[in-house]
Amino acid sequence: MPQATATSSDPALFADRRDRFLHRLGGAAAVIPAAPLVTHHADVEHPFRQNSDFWYLTGFDEPGAVALFLPHKPENPFVLFVAPKEASAEVWNGFRWGCEGAVERFGADLAHPIAELAELLPGYLDGAEGIAFRVGRHPAVEPLVLKAWGSQLDRAPRSGSAALGLVAPCPLLHELRLRKSPEELARMREAARISAEAHELARQVARPGLNERQVQAVIEQHFLEQGARGTAYGSIVAGGDNACVLHYLENDQECRAGDLVLVDVGASYANYCADLTRTYPVSGRFTPRQRAVYEAVLRVLESSIARCVPGMKLREWKRAAQVEMAGELVGLGLITAEEAAKDTADEPACKKYFMHGLGHSLGLGVHDIAPPDGPLEPGWVMTVEPGIYIPEEGLAVRLENDVLVTEQGPVDLCAHVPIQPDEIESLLARRA
């Protein structure tokens, strides 16, 4: 049996999540597939990462499984279909829990080999008032769900009952996922800690002549050494004008004297993500122009974090940052006061130099559950990431922290990561 890993959790935690989800389903049955293995090339597969919805409800970290949630069958409301234990398969692919482990370790009321899904699914869905299934995402399972539902509709004139329709499970489930439990927050704090340490290493090694990829290597090595699963997203290490590409991933250019380097990296720890960005002067000191741009972004970051409070609607949160950023751009000489005066929500005056959103929810995904417009609620974790991008000057600054919304005010999970320009310069002056 494998050792416990960072993705392991108290089975009671997942049982509680399932109970709340089953309650929200009412009389509908839910079919939630696990992630499949995805081919990279030939017969080589990408590293496996579980579907977030499936993992949130089950804690089961194997590919190709399917979970059924059946409130209309209270004697067996949680059923798993999994890969069976086969010694010959485990030689190639490693340990599998099998049906017995799905029940004993993961709390399934019943478990079956995945090969039996087509045969047994119709019976499990029979009697449900509706079927909650995310269409368009699971091509191996979707035909089975549609066939089972179609059979119910064909029998309806004789049986007098059939599921009324397909509904998306996402609104019900994602409302649960938005609010982070203490255990989830502990994992996110650990992801932030590992990410912060990696940023410190990046700051120490980044210098003129070093390749961006060498900085990336130091960061990602630290993630793995600290028990992270790896990166939460593709690491961005962007020197000079490369940082004007928002999702720059090549990371193959030399860090040049006099440039800034933008480092946007986050660790995935126990499936939970951090998302942290800092911008450093490669030569150790900001030029006056770089400092002015940096401080402008920092002011918008700090005020935007302060507005991460319950009741703040997301569009109003973003809009306040846009208005503030327009004023900063006037001060930097990038737009005129007349241009700023024409600012509207549909045509923000800052969009030429600050063209992306202010932040997004964070959790099992780096761009996690898309929250409603608001208001912000306690338990949500949001990134806050203003930036200014000036391609004509080969200059870009983005700063990003992860913030927990609470009744007592915002809690910055990255508050311990150096960010003030004087502190940054002091730390860079002491690098080996």
Q: What is the CATH number of the domain that holds 212?
A: 3.90.230.10
Does residue 227 sit within a domain? Answer: yes
Does residue 2 sit within a domain? Answer: no
347 and 234 both lie in a single domain: yes
- Could you check whether the bond before residue 375 is cis, i.e. omega within 30 degrees of 0? yes
Amino acid at site 122? P
19 and 123 both lie in a single domain: yes
Does residue 1 sit within a domain? Answer: no
What DSSP string describes 11-80? HHHHHHHHHHHHHHHTTEEEEEEPPPP-EEETTEEPPP---HHHHHHH----TT-EEEE-TT-TTS-EEE
Kindly report, residue by residue over 349-373, the tens digit of the pLDDT.
999 999 999 999 999 999 999 888 8
At residue 250, does pLDDT exceed 60?
yes
Residue 275 designated active-site: yes
Kindly report, residue by residue over 161-208, the tens digit of the pLDDT.
787 889 999 999 999 999 999 999 999 999 999 999 999 999 999 999
Compute the distance between CA of residue 173 and CA of residue 159 in angstroms, rounded to an integer: 31
Q: Considering 184, 241, 264, 343, which one is annotated as catalytic?
A: 264
Q: Parallel, antiparallel, or unpaired for β 28-33 and 130-132?
A: parallel
pLDDT for 69? 98
Last residue of some domain: 176, 191, 222?
A: 176
Q: Considering 96, 256, 291, 356, which one is annotated as catalytic?
A: 356
How far CA 244 is from CA of 328, 347, 368, 389, in Å, comes to 18, 21, 24, 5
pLDDT for 27? 93
Last residue of some domain: 176, 200, 229?
A: 176
Residue 49 designated active-site: no
Residue 43 designated active-site: yes
pLDDT for 5? 45
Residue 294 designated active-site: no
> Count of domains in the chain?
2
155 and 224 both lie in a single domain: no
Q: Considering 43, 75, 347, 373, which one is annotated as catalytic?
A: 43
261 and 219 both lie in a single domain: yes
Mean pLDDT of 239-246: 97
First to last CA, the chain: 45
Q: What is the CATH number of the domain that holds 82?
A: 3.40.350.10
Residue 264 designated active-site: yes
Does residue 304 sit within a domain? Answer: yes
Does residue 333 sit within a domain? Answer: yes
Q: Considering 56, 61, 360, 368, which one is annotated as catalytic?
A: 360
Cβ–Cβ under 8 Å, residues 369 and 174: yes
At residue 8, does pLDDT exceed 60?
no
Residue 41 designated active-site: no
Residue 385 designated active-site: yes
142 and 230 both lie in a single domain: no
Does residue 4 sit within a domain? Answer: no
205 and 311 both lie in a single domain: yes
pLDDT for 9? 63
SS3 391: helix
Residue 360 designated active-site: yes
Compute the distance between CA of residue 408 and CA of residue 410 in angstroms, rounded to an integer: 7
The domain in which residue 411 lies consists of: 180-429
375 and 408 both lie in a single domain: yes
Does residue 421 sit within a domain? Answer: yes
